[in-house]
Structure 1
Amino acid sequence: MPDGFRYLPEYFGRDDQAALIQAVLDARASAPFWRPAMPRTGQPLSVLMTNFGPLGWVTDKEKGYRYEPSHPETGAAWPSLPQKLLSLWQEVANYPAPPEACLVNWYAPTSKMGMHIDWDEEATDAAVVSISLGDKARFRLGGPKRGGKTASVVLSSGDVVVLGGDARRCYHGVDRIYPGTSTLLGEEDFPGGGRINLTMRRVTIPASFPGWKPPQGLC
């Protein structure tokens, strides 16, 4: 694995996992899950999405990948980041400013996420912090160029992954979900079960660092 990759298995116990899922359920009132689309082609993603935080990641055919302060369908502001997530960021991100966005992906049993780099942020020196909840998933991490050598790890509910340093600019994705490996997502609230992935990011350059520029060589 590249430098800056950290795998923290079983970081959250069952009670904390349930509390995070409840926060997602509470957020759905103003920020319901929706299915975004790829730029240009308009092809729908296989995951459903919503967000926490002052900014939320969205994508559609017309405007592409970007961060917006409100839900694309309801127009409402995104719900605040839960304190458990803010505390996690403080403990593992090693960054002098809080996260501004937490993308919530709901993976159905057949959902996948193609290899990509999170690179729509100004603050590309800030780590990406990811929490797995629900069914197990096979996470794949490559290098800074598409199509290179990759490695994989199976993530379980409560696991945390940190992509900082060199790993921040490496391709990564989710190959598959292992259905029925967790009972965390109740059928009533999440028909078909699956996996919830919470991904925290710092989007803008911290105001306390005027003139700040991202490190050279990042692409």
Structure 2
Amino acid sequence: MQLRLKVRREKDGKVWYDSFVVPYEEGMTFLSALQRIKETQDETLTLRHFCRAGICGTCTIYINGFPKLACKEQVLPYALDGEEVLIEPLKNFRVIRDLVVDHEVIPKRIKELSLWVKDEEKDTRIDPELSRMIENSADCILCGACQSYCPQVLEKGYAGPLLFAKFYRLSIDPRDPQRDQRLAQALSGNLFHCLSCNKCNNVCPKEVEPATLIRRLMLANVEGP
């Protein structure tokens, strides 16, 4: 059994597509398939990965039009199908080369907005249910899948589901003395321009459900802090 891939390539502004055939191996992921191509067929193929365990989020690519973690997505169903699989870099990010995009825009924006608990309030007790909500919204691995797949991020000034998830996580965390300001930050990011299409929910590999958190932020802004 073989896996057939059509990979979008880009270098110095030039874009083209190359086709590859990879022999299937048990347990093969798209990351291992791409690595096999780089090792045995085309050493110039450029991709990014680190943890190989679905934690760092850096290997996120488009597979047949959907953002997936290359290190977690199994190739078996695609190999069984027999059709050529289209591999592309994340959309709405600047492509550096081939499947590598500029991920630095995400931590840069987080730093600009100070999206972390600052000057943590001491001796704060958190209700177990609230703790679970905080933990779930904090599971984001900054892979960029939701941000890439969101159609509204094309609007200048729209913060996007990744940042809204961060706003929500801090807005409900009683340890953050600035949590009330997070609602205002979300509002300034054109919160109510969300299309409620749920696309970000569908592609999040950690089931953070950014669209659900956006709706909670909207409700909080209507009701007031």
For this structure pair, what is the TM-score category when the shorter chain's length is used for normalisation?
under 0.3
Structure number with higher helix proportion: 2
Higher relative CO (CA 8 A, sep ≥ 6), structure 1 or 2?
Answer: 1
| TM-score of the aligned structures, taking structure 2 as reference length | 0.22
| TM-score of the aligned structures, taking structure 1 as reference length | 0.22
Larger Rg: 2
